[in-house]
């Protein structure tokens, strides 16, 4: 996960948003450290984690910010969004309410972040297929309507986590290049 002596060509700030319990912190620890924990308190207090990757022979440092339990409506401050070039908007495929709140998060993002921010909608916990409450078709349709990328992920099984982050990072890279 990145050679520290490597020169960095780009630093991209990404923010994770979405209701509490959807798996934001676990998606981040899966992506940044290839770790997963069933104890959600494990990463509380961490502001951001980084991972360096290579895109088109350039080294890109992704600086990914995680809310430390401030997911109550409007509790995430504008400082959190400042400078962000990408956002991962996460819901839990087993909890309808977390999907119903996505328009609010999107509005908050559009009010606080740069208007050109690259956004991916992520339906996490795809491993819990028997508890699914949101179909992939409904989410895909919503994402298309709003102009968002979309993927379902499992932080637990490490499914599509890599793809979700790289979709956003590659799109940002293409915009700045
Ligand atoms: P956050 O509040 O959005 O940061 O959510 P957390 O990352 O703390 O995760 C909340 C709970 O969901 C924890 O118990 C995690 O272990 C669990 N969780 C996170 N991702 C997954 C997943 O992909 N599948 C399953 N089954 N559980 C998950
Ligand atoms: Mg968290």
Dist. CA 124–CA 165, nearest whole Å: 13
Q: Are 122 and 153 in contact (CB under 8 A)?
A: yes
Q: What is the pLDDT of residue 5?
A: 67
Q: Tell whether the model's pLDDT for residue 44 goes beyond 90.
A: no
Q: What is the pLDDT of residue 39?
A: 75
| 18 CA: nearest ligand 1 atom | 3
Residue 36's nearest CA partner among 26, 25, 50, 22 is 26
Ligand 1 center to 98 CA (angstroms): 13
Question: Ligand 1 test: best mutation among 23, 102, 125, most atoms within 8 Å of CB?
Answer: 23
Cβ(69) – ligand 1 distance below 6 Å:
no
Dist. CA 35–CA 18, nearest whole Å: 20
Q: pLDDT: is 96 or 6 the higher one?
A: 96
Cβ(103) – ligand 1 distance below 6 Å:
no
**Token pair in block for residue 6:** 């490597």
pLDDT digits (tens, 9 = 90+) for 119-142: 999 999 999 999 999 999 999 999
């Amino acid at each position: 996960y990145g050679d520290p002596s490597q020169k960095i060509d780009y630093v991209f700030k990404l923010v994770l948003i979405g209701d509490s319990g959807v798996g934001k912190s676990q998606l981040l620890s899966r992506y940044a450290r290839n770790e997963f924990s069933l104890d959600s308190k494990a990463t509380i207090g961490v502001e951001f984690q980084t991972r360096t990757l290579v895109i088109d022979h350039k080294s890109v440092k992704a600086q990914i910010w995680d809310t430390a339990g401030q997911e109550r409506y409007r509790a995430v401050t504008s400082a959190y969004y400042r400078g962000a070039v990408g956002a991962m908007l996460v819901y839990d495929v087993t909890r309808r309410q977390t999907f119903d709140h996505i328009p609010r998060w999107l509005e908050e993002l559009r009010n606080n972040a740069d208007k050109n921010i690259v956004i991916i909608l992520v339906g996490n916990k795809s491993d819990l297929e028997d508890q699914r409450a949101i179909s992939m078709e409904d989410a895909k349709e919503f994402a298309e309507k709003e102009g968002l990328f979309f993927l379902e992920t499992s932080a637990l099984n490490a499914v599509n986590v890599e793809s979700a982050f790289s979709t956003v990072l590659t799109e940002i890279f293409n915009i700045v290049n």
